[in-house]
Structure 1
Amino acid sequence: MDTIGVTIRRLRRWRGLTLEQAAGLAGLSKGYLSKIENGKAAVERRSTLVAIADTLRVSLADITGDGLEIRDPDADSTVPAIRAALLDSDLNDNPPQGELSSLVAETQLVAAMRQANQMAEVGHRLPPLITALHTHARQAEALRALVSVAHTTSLLVKGLGALDLAWIAANRGHEAAERLGDPHWISLAAFARTQACSGLGAHRRAGVLAANALEIVPEESVDVRGALTLTTGFIDSVIGGDPSAALDEAEGLAEHVEDGNRHHLLFTPANVVLWRMSAALEGGHYAAAATLAESIHPSDLEINSRRTTYFIDYARALWGLRRPDEDVIELIAQAETLGPVRTRSNTFVREIVSTMVERARRQAVAREARGLASRMGLLRVG
């Protein structure tokens, strides 16, 4: 599989742009873009990827690839059935399928399983659940469950590279919430839409959705307000704004939440720290991100999906600080143990590993880096 740098060079030439022209349009130095294209420097920020994609007039997926060759084939095989369930279901009157109480319980189960990185199992369970819940759309409890299952679905398929499908899933949750007419659930559905937008690189649109939802979210819905506030802070960091006010507000809100995982949002003080790390990384503040990582323990994050992100972002921070490759590899290995699919398909991990393989000098480091690269499908055979 081509690295991001090789793909960028190919797309740049396809567009007929010189290195200098592309760098200027993307707001990068010619030297930095050259290093990216030649695997000498990793792309370390989402905003950089977005700027390059905009310059080349392609999507983020065109640059990052879908990673099909390194993900779980069992999980990937569930995507067509999920797509069919989403496109074939609607909120019109249909003969009820299954007991609603059982379907609601299944909704909670698959959400918890996704947080535990059990992607294939969740993928297999989702299609019949999506279809059956839609047949109970006359009942408020089913509509609430649809908001939840749409969020789970959106996050799952986003992690499997089906970014457009993630937006479709999030919109199905929005439709259910609008039918329900409850500001709490409408705001919760909006959060899922912000995540789908961000995956597509539409960060400003995600910010607008979050801001609009914050206008209507009830005061007592502290966890949902907190998640939306975190979103606005992170979006500010991506588009070059100051995220501190939003992140500080979210931190204050998290201190007053009894059950931060009520909607599988994990809105807790430790998770706010994780969002601060992401914002710091986006701003290029690697020392701050590393300090934040050291302020919490992975066990504070409670669920494997967030622990995986913790190790990935900690590795990114140390990489940005030019710490020893051994330290970076150790963190990536811990992330891979907890969430192999999530780790191996992460754009920034793949960039780090590709660059590390290219420059590794010590035999032990080279061996570990090449092992990671092989599992990520980054090494050519033959």
Structure 2
Amino acid sequence: MPRLDDDHPGNRIREQRKLARLTQRELAARIPYSYSWLTQVECGARPASVDFTAAVARALRIDVTVLTGQPYVTQLQEDRLAELIRPIRESLDLYDLGDDPDVITRPASDLITATEELCAHVRATHLHAAAAALPDVIAELTALCWRAPTTELWQALGSAYRTAHDVTVKLGYFDLASVALDRLGWASERASNPCLAAVRQYFRGLVYFREGEYTIGLRLIRSGHGFLDPADESRESLTVAGQLHLGGSVLAALADDRSTAASHIAQARDYVGRVGDASTVHWLNFSPANVDLHEMSVAMEMRQYEEAMRQAKAIKLPASMATSRRAHFFIDRARVEMELGKADASLKSLWAARRAAPEQIRYHPGARETVRGLVHLSRRAPESLGNMAAWVGIGLGTGGLSYSTVASSPWNPACR
């Protein structure tokens, strides 16, 4: 049987638990998961899902990246992405330094167009291209905003900060992503744009998806709605409100609040019925198909895997859907299929995600953990799974593991 190396979240959880001087039973009592579940994750027989890892991080009072191992520096260096992070960090630090006369800027109209192109790069998962171009765009826009500020320029700078958030999140630099959101708030105030401020609250809410503090995340979603004027029937305002509901639906599902999750989905459907496909409004991907995808995610996060699978099979992705969102669907589908013991189908979905968005999938912790789960479902890892594992940075050792697939569950509970 294939054997995984020891560099996995379960091993990190065990190390941090011991540093906290907790037994497995003591830690299990502090998280919404069973002792058996925890023991399986620690020994590597069950993948550490995002919600599980967040729950453990919260219980141990540590940052979730301590357990996930992000950012994945080795792969980032191989892909020449790590070297692009420092220029982004430096550009984010220019915001309050005033004008720099040494900065030669493009015309304002060109920079505004450049921010739209950056958003398009991220939606297409061209992360290297976005990360490489971003620092100059931020530096030039910052200089222009100090020299001759206009609402349009502040909005464009806010958009560039949002791209900085998107890129750094996808590459696993969450602290830097939080800085980018602070800068987005700073720019949105100067642009006097309530929709931009609400978009910031949406992304702040998603931070707590990773951290496991779902109550705070839901409060941020409500705060985002507070920035919007209920009387504003513009397409922009309705789209942002709808996207906030989509974020709220997944946070509520993770908080095990089924009725609130269903209410958010229903309200999102109402908004999407009024605006139609509004994918390019603030590049939020708000559309009927995205509402369907979030409804599937709600079922998945509530561990209703059969229902999630039923919905996944019914979803038809339009050709216009952003590559980033399309790839995310395939990751979610792969996780559901893995949980249902459908290893071949799960691997097929992962390959579909990789073909669609290789730069995104290589750094996605959910994709990595699904690969780990599939390795444990396989008595002998097929070559395609071995290739996938190596590509995302999971080492397969030699020798066997005493875990096997059982009829009642894809996971063997006898892992102590």
Partner of 2:360: 342
Partner of 2:295: 276
Q: Distance in 1 between matches of 2:314 and 2:196?
A: 33
Q: Distance in 1 between matches of 2:218 and 2:100?
A: 36
For residue 186 of structure 1, report the CA deviation from its aligned partner. Answer: 2.0
Q: Distance in 2 between matches of 1:87 and 1:296?
A: 43
What residue identity is the alignment partner of 1:204?
T
Maintained 8 Å contact 1:230/1:275: yes
Deviates more, 1:336-345 or 1:166-175: 336-345
Maintained 8 Å contact 1:312/1:332: yes
For residue 300 of structure 1, report the CA deviation from its aligned partner. Answer: 4.9
For residue 88 of structure 1, report the CA deviation from its aligned partner. Answer: 2.3
For residue 201 of structure 1, report the CA deviation from its aligned partner. Answer: 4.4
Identity %: 25
Q: Secondary structure at the match of 2:382?
A: helix
| Residue of structure 2 aligned with 1:238, choices 254, 273, 277 | 254
Partner of 1:225: 241
Q: Distance in 1 between matches of 2:388 and 2:358?
A: 11
| Residue of structure 1 aligned with 2:221, choices 210, 215, 225 | 210
Partner of 1:254: 272
Structure 1 residues 188 and 64: CA distance shift in structure 2, 3 A: same
In structure 2, runs of 5+ residues without a counterpart are 1-5, 399-416
| Residue of structure 1 aligned with 2:323, choices 304, 307, 316 | 304
Maintained 8 Å contact 2:57/2:211: no
Q: Secondary structure at the match of 1:297?
A: coil
What residue identity is the alignment partner of 1:374?
A
Alignment of 1:70-85 (within 5 A): 70-71=75-76, 73-85=79-91
Q: Distance in 1 between matches of 2:179 and 2:309?
A: 36
| Residue of structure 1 aligned with 2:68, choices 56, 64, 68 | 64
| Residue of structure 1 aligned with 2:109, choices 78, 98, 101 | 101
Partner of 1:129: 137
Q: Distance in 1 between matches of 2:225 and 2:213?
A: 19
Deviates more, 1:370-379 or 1:215-224: 215-224
Map Cα deviations across residues 16-54 of structure 1 (whole Å, 9 max, x no partner). Answer: 21111111122322111111111111233x332221112
For residue 381 of structure 1, report the CA deviation from its aligned partner. Answer: 7.1
Partner of 1:317: 336
> Does residue 377 of structure 1 match 2:393?
yes
Q: Distance in 2 between matches of 1:337 and 1:223?
A: 30
Q: Distance in 2 between matches of 1:199 and 1:50?
A: 6
For residue 75 of structure 1, report the CA deviation from its aligned partner. Answer: 2.4
For residue 329 of structure 1, report the CA deviation from its aligned partner. Answer: 0.3
Structure 1 residues 204 and 91: CA distance shift in structure 2, 3 A: farther
Q: How many residues align?
A: 378
Asked which structure has the greater RCO (Cα within 8 Å, sep 6+), the reply is 2
Which structure has the bigger radius of gyration? 2
Map Cα deviations across residues 31-83 of structure 1 (whole Å, 9 max, x no partner). Answer: 11111111111233x33222111222211100111122234632232111000
Partner of 1:267: 286
Partner of 1:146: 157
Measured on the aligned residues, the alpha-carbon RMSD in Å equals 2.0
> Does residue 167 of structure 1 match 2:178?
yes
For residue 101 of structure 1, report the CA deviation from its aligned partner. Answer: 0.4
For residue 121 of structure 1, report the CA deviation from its aligned partner. Answer: 0.6
Q: Distance in 2 between matches of 1:256 and 1:336?
A: 34
For residue 317 of structure 1, report the CA deviation from its aligned partner. Answer: 1.3
Maintained 8 Å contact 2:202/2:221: yes
Deviates more, 1:272-281 or 1:67-76: 67-76
Maintained 8 Å contact 1:158/1:196: no
| Residue of structure 2 aligned with 1:40, choices 39, 45, 57 | 45
Partner of 1:4: 9
